[in-house]
Amino acid sequence: MVRGVRIAGVGSYAPERILSNEDLAQLVNTNDEWITSRTGMKRRHIAAADQATSDLAIEAGRRALARAGLSACEIDAFVVATVTPDYPFPATACLVANGLGAPGKAAFDIGIACSGFVYGLTVASGLVRSGVFRRVMLIGAEALSKITNYTDRSTCVLFGDGAGAVILEASEQNCFLGTSLGADGSKPEVLFQPAGGSRMPASTQTIEENLHSIHMSGKEVFKFAVSKMVDSALTALGEASLSPDDMTYLIPHQANLRIIDSVTKYLKVPAEKVVVNIQEYGNTSSASIPLALAELDASGKLKEGDVIVFVAFGGGLSWGAVAWRWAA
Ligand code: ACO
């Protein structure tokens, strides 16, 4: 049985505490002009000491439920895309289902860094379309500040915390138009958290050498990001025999404004079709796309039939895009 899937509700949450470019200039040798011109970022939201990823995800999930007019017990499965789980195990999704008041439901995490939301959208839509579940809540949630080294100016200016949730629901209409996912694991060290896994378990040395934080070769990531985002967006649209001209909105992963501008240029998309909120949140990895979608939804601009392309890249290296038709 193959049926349709739609998004029944969107919600997001970002912690209250703000870390501005000026704040960062107090921590490392940087300044507002460098950060703004190289990344487009102005502020990031930072989780409180007692806030973990599941806390952000639960609040985003609550808001998505309210927007959809549903209760948590009407959701059949919970999927959390994150690289900053509360614990290596159990899955953060288990804690989220419990926190939302739906214990006993299926729950699992997806760990593919910043591509997590587009991978999750593909997987969760597949579960609904194949009839396995009627409703799936997908949440992109990150507390990246917990794995950011605030003495390394080349990474600490980039990352922030937040969560965005969508509720996917079986429908007569099919909003899932096409997908394109990929990964290349030949150079994991281009963007990774070196220690704490089975290759380099935690030790006093890994802590002393700050190996539990994000390590990145920014230039290498930048180079691959643009071409992979362009290719995957075109392939996802092509699956539905659509072209960039048919797109109402492009919602790219918010990693760097210059990357977004290049992708926009290659796809020849007018700036007003591109959803950008990087100035407010920085890079929130798998949360960035649903955070931007929630803002677009709240703006009241989304209309029945709008074609949205979600496109991302990140650690893996990984990349992907989903073409989606909005149904109110
Ligand atoms: N403030 C001031 N100067 C800085 C800073 C800073 N915060 N960071 C680096 N610099 C300096 C460097 O030391 C270097 O100085 P030097 O020339 O004297 O050596 C100079 O600025 C240029 O550094 P570059 O790294 O060449 O700067 P670049 O223009 O490439 O911008 C950036 C760096 C913003 C990181 C960019 O490469 C980028 O955005 N790359 C993609 C990153 C990304 O998208 N990551 C995704 C992560 S998603 C995930 O999966 C978690």
CA–CA dist 198, 177 (Å, integer): 38
Cβ of 255 less than 6 Å from ligand 1:
yes
Active site residue 45: no
Cβ of 42 less than 6 Å from ligand 1:
no
**Under-70 pLDDT residues of the chain:** 1
Catalytic residue among 21, 45, 94, 114, which? 114
Cβ of 212 less than 6 Å from ligand 1:
no
**Residues forming CATH 3.40.47.10 domain(s) in the chain:** 4-174, 177-325
pLDDT at residue 328, as a whole number = 80
Counting ligand 1 atoms within 8 A of each CB, the residue from 23, 38, 117, 317 with the most, and so the one to mutate, is 38
pLDDT at residue 85, as a whole number = 98
Q: 4-174, superfamily in CATH?
A: Thiolase/Chalcone synthase (3.40.47.10)
pLDDT at residue 1, as a whole number = 67
For residue 35, the CA-to-ligand 1 centroid distance in Å is 9
Whole-structure pTM value: 0.96
Does 177-325 carry CATH code 3.40.50.300?
no
CA–CA dist 59, 225 (Å, integer): 30
pLDDT at residue 4, as a whole number = 97
Atom of ligand 1 nearest to the CA of 314: 50
Active site residue 212: no
Active site residue 175: no
